[in-house]
Amino acid sequence: MSVDFEKEGRLATITMNRPEKLNAINAEQSRAMSEALVRFRDDPELWVAIITGAGDRAFSAGANITGFLDRRPGERDDRAERVRGDNIWKPLIAAIHGYCLGGGLELALTCDIRIAADNSRLGLPEIKVGVIAGGGGVSRLPRFIPRAIASEMILTGKHIDAQEAYRIGLVNEVVPRDQLMPTAKKWAETICEAGPLQVRAAKEGLIRGYNLTLAESDQLVRDLAASLRGTEDAKEGARAFVEKRKPNWKGK
Q: Is 20 a catalytic residue?
A: no
Mean pLDDT of 197-209: 95
**Domain co-membership, 59 together with 133:** yes
- Biggest distance spanned by C-alpha atoms of the chain: 65
**Domain co-membership, 53 together with 95:** yes
pLDDT digits (tens, 9 = 90+) for 117-144: 999 999 999 999 888 988 899 999 999 9
* Of the candidates 179, 64, 80, the residue with the CA atom closest to the CA atom of residue 120: 179
**Domain co-membership, 127 together with 143:** yes
Write out the residue range of the structural domain in which residue 212 sits: 196-243
Annotated catalytic residue, options 45, 106, 204, 243: 106
* Whether residue 75 has pLDDT greater than 60: no
What's the pLDDT score for residue 66? 57
- Domain annotation covers residue 164: yes
Q: Is 216 a catalytic residue?
A: no
Helices (H), 75-195: 103-109, 137-144, 147-156, 162-167, 180-192
- Domain annotation covers residue 252: no
3-state secondary structure 35-95: HHHHHHHHCCCCCEEEEEECCCCEEECCECHHHHHHCCCCCCCHHHHCCCHHHCCCCEEEE
Report residue 27's pLDDT band, with 50, 70 and 90 as the boundaries.
Answer: confident
* Whether residue 67 has pLDDT greater than 60: no
**Domain co-membership, 92 together with 178:** yes
Per-residue burial over 52-79, b if 16 or more Cβ lie within 10 Å, else e, is: bbbbeebbbbbbbeeeeeeeeeeeeeeb
Report residue 80's pLDDT band, with 50, 70 and 90 as the boundaries.
Answer: very low
Can you give the pTM of this predicted structure? 0.91
CATH number of the domain encompassing residue 226: 1.10.12
**Domain co-membership, 83 together with 131:** yes
**Domain co-membership, 187 together with 204:** no
Annotated catalytic residue, options 75, 81, 126, 216: 126
**Domain co-membership, 239 together with 186:** no
**Domain co-membership, 202 together with 179:** no
**Domain co-membership, 109 together with 182:** yes
**Domain co-membership, 30 together with 152:** yes
What's the pLDDT score for residue 69? 45
- Domain annotation covers residue 250: no
CATH number of the domain encompassing residue 10: 3.90.226.10
d(C-alpha 210, C-alpha 222), whole Å: 15
Counted domains in the chain: 2
* Of the candidates 207, 189, 191, 210, the residue with the CA atom closest to the CA atom of residue 199: 191
